[in-house]
Amino acid sequence: MTRYQLADPQPAVPERLRARLEAKLAERGIDLAAALPDTPEPIPALEAAQQRIPIDYRDALVEHPDVAAWVRKVADSAVAPNTGGLNPQYGTPGRRRIAHGPSLLLWGNLGTGKTHQAYAAIRALTASGCGVAWHATTAADLYGDARPQAGVDLEHQLRRIVRVPLLLLDDLGAAKTSAWNEEVLFRLVNWRCQNRLPTVFTTNLPPVRQLADSPGQPVLRDLVGDRVLSRLSGMCTPVRFTGPDRRFQR
């Protein structure tokens, strides 16, 4: 019987592949021994939210302790998919979603960081691991979009905004008042109050007039009415912002 024997034993296959891979990487200037940069893993939900957030607020971080506490409370109240639906047993192992929770009323002088912290709260929630369906608008844009338009189902559009799980309504009280605007605002606030949908309101006006305030000092109560203010008081944690206008400091 003839026996065949290799003159020079060949290295194992994995070792040969490793040598070829290292040679290819070396050609491209990649050093396997070099330390990898310490970069955070991307968060897909936050990356998607960034495209919808105004450029000025894409790096916003939660700084106010009351806003941070609100973010934690809303995230902790997230529920499994289909919870409370007609078929709660379907899809319950999926990612938890924001459903119900408290709201915030951020008020204070112009340029004190209210909108900055509002978008920071949205960024923090999208990065928390929960599913967050959200919408952001100003009170003036809300009223403008609710005006009659050819070929637009305004009732459907308004219901979609009113019922979104997380809403930011910026500059409350800044738009001119009218019977139509008051009706739209009442419907929005009333629905979200009754269904405990998390909402972040910002306004430059104090909610009510204090004894030390001038009689001519405009307050939110004068512009939105007692019915809306009562519901805001019941659903929101008020957070006051003070200090100089940050926009002038830039």
Residue-wise pLDDT for 93-123, tens only, equals 567 888 899 999 999 998 899 999 999 999 9
Indicate if the pLDDT at residue 194 is higher than 60: yes
The 10s digit of each residue's pLDDT in 168-191 is: 999 999 888 888 899 999 999 999
Q: Is 136 helix (H, G, I), strand (E, B) or coil?
A: strand
CA distance 31 to 100: 50
User: What's the pTM value of the predicted model, to 2 decimals?
Assistant: 0.76
CA distance 67 to 128: 14
44-82+95-243, CATH topology level: Rossmann fold (3.40.50)
Spatial strand order in the sheet of 199-203: 134-138, 166-170, 199-203, 103-108, 236-241
Around Cβ 27, how many Cβ atoms within 10 Å?
8
Indicate if the pLDDT at residue 213 is higher than 90: no
Q: Best-predicted range by mean pLDDT among 19-33, 84-98, 225-239?
A: 225-239
Q: Which of 235, 205, 229 is closest to 103 using CA atoms?
A: 235
Domain spans in the chain, listed from the N-terminal domain onward: 44-82+95-243
